[in-house]
Structure 1
């Protein structure tokens, strides 16, 4: 036997023996998270001292106890997954709680593959992680099982909006409202009216959503914040501030109310107060938008180095989220649109374009994604490439002031002065609470038209 052949056989034997060892080792370990237990994590800031938190901890403890006693207790599995989804909203720790909730949802589906509640929760989790296409598909499957459940239509609305299927979202909203007119259905109707450029109608529907909720409940206060933001976009800062204040009083230390108050303070050039509000919010919840708001305040104060340092910290964290999406297709969080805007703020246009196009490949019909791609090309000086994307972004007649400013600036640079002038006038006449830099760019361009 030749020496090379002997060496080859020895290598094969070695690889096989190592493979056997590895197989025994890995097969003795859980190859998924099915048997892993996820406990509640401590809350931060004001939320850690709320009476609500005491009840949540007790509920979580009892549910975990029930599941440990009977792993096939699907009712407790669903209740615990729901609890963790809500806790993700409150704390912003989606990485941990979404994974925990998905584990219990998958355990339920392993017992009952057609469990309606598990399907809608899994759909909701996919949407939370920005896996919009997968989330929508699951919502449609759940809808076919129970076409008379209002909640599943709400998830389908969210999925269709994110995928840019706006007509389907409107049809689902009509169905949802006919089944159960409540906070969830009114708030979604409001969002769709905003998408189609009807701000008075959006405000009316969001007021109805707030009135349908219990004051102090997280869902109610989140809805009240959305109402305040609608007022910000229409230039009514007095009403916006009122709703943010009411929300903070109803749910003390609510981070999104604090962030709203920070934006109002920044609009009044009270940067010290704005920073204080943002820092308070940041101690309670993990949310990129709050850190982004703080970076914007630093930039407006002329503290560019401080703003860029914070932006780079945000980008580093978001890249970690993006990498988790690559490593785990079932739960990793896609944040490419957010990364694109973050890179623009530090003038890294190449990375901004890379992430904007990654998001566009996933959902080419979404107006926000098209706006993002258009704005990146504008910042790169490629105005002709920006045009088709901004036209798609405007296809629902959305009157978001930031979108209109972006569109007007792009049309101006592309040489379409008539549309540019009309669009910029519409945006600036709203006197909305948008960034000072964008207002200045819009006003400067308008003077040349």
Structure 2
């Protein structure tokens, strides 16, 4: 058994080496978040989240920077750079804590900064790009990124936000060009991690590993190193190697014991290796420390795969509540919410979310989510077209291939279904605790009827 993996995406790393005054907040992509940076707690409170302003929060540089900037703005409220930087920090804090209430705060201070200085305020423009990306408004994120780059075409961080927006809008060649420009300007962990992702999306796993290993070698501090270990583990797991993911997660935790995504990675690896109790313990700790919807949903599906349906239902209720909180703070729902509804909720709602999501985020995982939602509603011919779009870049993704196989089988194409089921399990036999067993059963049935 293993944890369900969504299509590969990136949390672009929190770097200590940001160019100029752009701050940590520009290293964001796709609305996903970095975990906070607490001191690793011990004892009975080890599974509890660390809150900014608590005694344990002193090791959190983001919280410290927010406090510093707030104090500075009390004295100089018209400091447009401080306002912009605070906005960037609020965006990152929303992602770090899974608390979207920081997004309205970010918008307020970023707009104040732009009101004070409009024409060449690339810091606030970059902040608005990061904000809109966090809220999954990627067309707006692209517009702000372009404005910022036009003002400061030599800032590598701005090309990162530009690349992120292009990626989520499905404009992959333009994203690759922006990443190359970022690497040319500043070859380091932030740019190399994005180069790794470009390679991964096109199915070039060897290059993706090489670039991420280079990012690890160029890590400026524990957060960069932890991020690189996390994604080296993700590359391994997504290609059927949970043992290597476990090794990378343990190496990252040695460097950065408080880096929460590594707990999720360790849980995923332990589950795939058959250690269900350990997987539950690590994933529960990750979800308690930072209740990312992704962690909550994975925990629910792990419980369900173990037959613990009441506990699974509790996690699904939390996931639904989190989705409401995000939408109330201006975040657009797309693939994760659509897949959840298709698998565990309302197929009609899944289809509505996925169709709307494709308008704002025509990324490959949104195409896959729409395909699955269409299948759940019996619209398999259209579903196959969307599934083909999801796989058009050559991405190695077991879930995508499984979805396409089920759709093909529904359309009566048993040979194509056999091919995609075989491909899904060859890429990653652990891709889902709920769907991988179904894939194996379906393949066995097809083999028996051949």
Pairwise same-fold verdict (TM > 0.5) = yes
Write the mapping of 1:217-228 to structure 2, written as runs, cut at 5 A: 217=223, 219-228=224-233
- For residue 31 of structure 1, what is the aligned residue in structure 2? none
- The 3 A distance-change label for structure 1 pair 253 and 404 is same
Q: Is the 8 Å Cα contact of residues 81 and 123 (structure 2) preserved in structure 1?
A: no
Work out which of the residue numbers 333, 336, 355 in structure 2 matches 1:335: 333
Partner of 1:98, secondary structure, is: helix
1:178 paired to 2:175: no
Residue 129 of structure 2 is matched in structure 1 by 123
Structure 1 segment 208-223 matched on structure 2, within 5 A: 208-217=214-223, 219-223=224-228
> Do structure 1's residue 69 and structure 2's residue 67 form an aligned pair?
no
Q: State the partner residue of 1:107.
A: 112
SS of residue paired to 2:78: coil
Q: Distance in 2 between matches of 1:57 and 1:436?
A: 36
- 2:372·2:383 contact (CA, 8 Å) conserved in 1? yes
Aligned equivalents of 1:425, 1:71: Cα separation in 2? 61
Structure 1 segment 36-435 matched on structure 2, within 5 A: 45=49, 49=56, 51-53=58-60, 56=62, 58-93=64-99, 95-114=100-119, 115-217=121-223, 219-324=224-329, 332-363=330-361, 365-435=362-432
In the alignment, the residues of structure 1 paired with residue 50 and residue 68 of structure 2 have an alpha-carbon distance, to the nearest angstrom, of: 24
Greater C-alpha Rg: 1
Greater Cα shift, 419-428 or 295-304? 419-428
> Deviations 1:230-277 (Å, cap 9, x if unpaired)?
100111112111111122222213221111111112213322221211
1:121 alignment partner, SS class: helix
- The secondary structure found in structure 2 opposite 1:200 is helix
2-structure distance, mates of 1:146, 1:211:
28
Any stretches of 5+ residues in structure 2 without a counterpart?
Answer: 1-35, 39-47
Cα distance in 2 for partners of 1:220, 1:441 equals: 37
Alpha-carbon offset, residue 227 of structure 1: 1.7
For 1:45, what is the secondary structure of its paired residue?
Answer: coil
Q: How many pairs does the alignment contain?
A: 398
CA separation of 1:246/1:90 partners in 2, compared to 1, >3 Å: closer, same or farther?
farther
| Cα deviations by residue, 1:372-409 (Å, 9 ceiling, x for unpaired) | 01111223333222111111111111111111221222
With the length of structure 1 as denominator, give the TM-score of the two structures: 0.83
Which has the larger displacement, 70-79 or 259-268? 70-79
**Which stretches in structure 1 are left out of the alignment for 5+ residues?**
1-40, 325-331
Q: Provide the rounded CA distance (Å) in 1 between the counterparts of 2:165 and 2:324.
A: 24
Q: Cα RMSD over matched residues?
A: 2.2
- Tell me, yes or no, if the aligned pair for 1:295 and 1:307 is still in contact at 8 Å: yes
**Higher helix fraction (1 or 2):** 1
| Shift in Å, 1:441 | 2.3
- Asked whether the equivalents of residues 160 and 169 of structure 1 are also in contact (C-alpha less than 8 Å), the reply is yes
